[in-house]
Amino acid sequence: MNQYDVTVIGSGPGGYVAAIRCAQLGLKTAIIEKYPTLGGTCLNVGCIPSKALLDSTEHYHNAHTTFKEHGIELSDLQINMNQLIDRKNGVVKANVDGISFLMKKNKIDVLQGVGSFVDKNHIKITPTGGGEEQQIETKNVIIATGSKPTVLPFIQQDKQRIITSTEALNIREVPKHMIVIGGGVIGLEMASVYARLGAKVSVIEFMDSLIPTMDRALGKELKRILGKIGIEFFLSHKVTGATREGETVTVTATNPKGEEVKFEGDYCLVAVGRVPYTQGLNLEAAGVQMEERGRIKVDEHLQTSVPGIYAIGDVIRGAMLAHKAEEEGVYVAETIVGQKPHINYLLIPGVVYTWPEVAGVGYTEEQLKETGRAYKVGSFPFRASGRARASMDLDGFVKVLADKQTDEILGMHMIGPRIADLIAEGVTAMEFRASAEDVARMSHAHPTYAEAVKEACLAATENRAIHM
Ligand code: FAD
């Protein structure tokens, strides 16, 4: 029987990063994945394919809208959905192949099949495509089995017309009317993809705002901007059912007045969140305890109720984000070898890859109000940025929240061009506990979108933005 120092179950961004860090630290490592390709939700049916589609459709949308103003005139513009989806598949393949390469490079054994506990130190691997079961012995286990889409019990998803994000990434036609249940990150990204392709898109959201866990100013601005590409929003609507007849899908909901409203379309995407995935792990055999909402219970060191068994990523508490899972993977690997790593969960940024992009890190204004912390706000609109004017990306703003007395940055929230990359400046500043004035006094290349961060920090410092 093969023996390992560490066995990782699940090869998503949590699992594969944990495995690489374990191998770097000299631990004999195995990774178990039930699917034939590595990379988990993120690489196969999440972050990467959705961004590939967002990029393609943004080009198409611009070709229809802003190109003319740039002086580029096109005629007979066509969308080739097969090519669009094939390119996306190619991007996914290149990425998942990259992970296989990294496993080889780091001498990590990849075991294909469903991993389940026999006991705390023995894992059984059952190949999904048939074939012989095997068992391995391991000193430590890292559970990184991720999540799956939340199912609404009163909606039967046939995965053809009433679909999850996985199927929404593979539609080879432009829907006539896509009804999206859920105004969160995944719902809005996919809504953008299809609206840009020319589909009518209706987003139905239970809460009274979009992306409600982010700073409220962002959701408000995003709703206004996405409205301009034709997405219709139905906030404070409670979906009560969805049925399919032939190619028609009917969604029923209760509006804020308590009346029943009906939506008819050809696709309904259910994007109401994700739930931890632990099916098939046989956690009882190892004695691993669960907590509420199907999550695996972990302590502050990400160790489960059983010493030597850890859990990371979507399967435990916290934001369901790839980069959060990655940080936890590194954290656990270093903990296993006796190091003292650290994760600052406040500084895990949240991002939405619509256009404009949305990102936030640190405390939201609502959280500061709730805790009674004295703060000041500085913001800067992209319409005052020369760089944004050059690229015709005038929507959005950067908003900086700083402590009223000390000027320490407490939160940065932005909506605008390429701010998914820009939020890293907020993370860096906050990780080093910078004041708004610290950032305001740093040189930012001109012309860049990043100047908006400097200007917002200037505004927060003493209301002394230069270009506003
Ligand atoms: P996963 O990536 O879910 O990987 C878990 C793996 O474990 C899977 O491959 C699964 O097959 C395997 N597995 C499960 N059980 C077993 C078992 N018993 N034996 C063997 N293998 C098993 N996050 C971002 O940060 N940025 C984004 O832009 C982003 N976009 C997204 C877009 C979409 C459409 C979706 C659905 C998600 C997106 N996410 C994004 C979320 C991100 O994908 C997840 O947070 C991330 O994948 C979680 O990583 P993980 O390692 O915890 O689990």
**Cβ(253) – ligand 1 distance below 6 Å:** no
pLDDT higher than threshold 90 for residue 333? yes
Written as one letter, the residue type at 345 is Y
> Does the pLDDT value for residue 130 go beyond 90?
no
Is the pLDDT higher at 131 or at 2? Answer: 2
Q: Is the peptide bond before 447 cis (omega within 30 degrees of 0)?
A: yes
* Residues with Cβ within 8 Å of residue 235, at least 6 apart in sequence: 183, 205, 207, 208, 209, 210
The token duo for 115 is 């991993």
Q: Is 35 in the pocket of ligand 1 (CB under 6 A)?
A: yes
38 alpha carbon – ligand 1 mean position (Å): 11
Separation CA 176–CA 266 (nearest Å): 6
112 lines ligand 1 (CB under 6 A): no
> What average pLDDT is seen over the chain?
97
The confidence band for 468, taking pLDDT boundaries of 50, 70 and 90, is confident
pLDDT > 70 in the chain, percent:
100
Section 450-461 average pLDDT: 97
Check if the beta carbon of residue 401 is closer than 8 Å to that of residue 412: yes
The verdict on the CB of residue 184 being under 6 Å from ligand 1 is no
Instruction: Indicate the SS3 state at residue 430.
Output: helix
Residue 324: its pLDDT value, please?
A: 98
The string of pLDDT tens digits covering residues 391-437 is: 999 999 999 999 999 999 999 999 999 999 999 999 999 999 999 99
Measure the CA–CA gap between 391 and 375, rounded to whole angstroms.
33
Q: Is the dihedral of CA 228, 229, 234, 238 positive or negative?
A: negative
Q: What is the value of ipTM here, to two decimals? A: 0.99
* Pair 430, 362: CB distance under 8 Å: yes
Separation of 28 CA from ligand 1 center, angstroms? 24
Question: Quick one: pLDDT band at residue 129, thresholds 50, 70, 90?
Answer: confident
* Cα-to-centroid distance, 46 and ligand 1 (Å): 7
Tens of pLDDT, residue by residue over 138-192, are 999 999 999 999 999 999 999 999 999 999 999 999 999 999 999 999 999 999 9
Task: Supply the residues annotated as catalytic.
Answer: 446
Q: In which band, very low, low, confident or very high, does the pLDDT at 131 lie, cut at 50, 70 and 90?
A: confident
Q: What structural domains does the chain harbor? A: 2-148+275-337 (3.50.50.60), 162-272 (3.50.50.60), 356-462 (3.30.390.30)
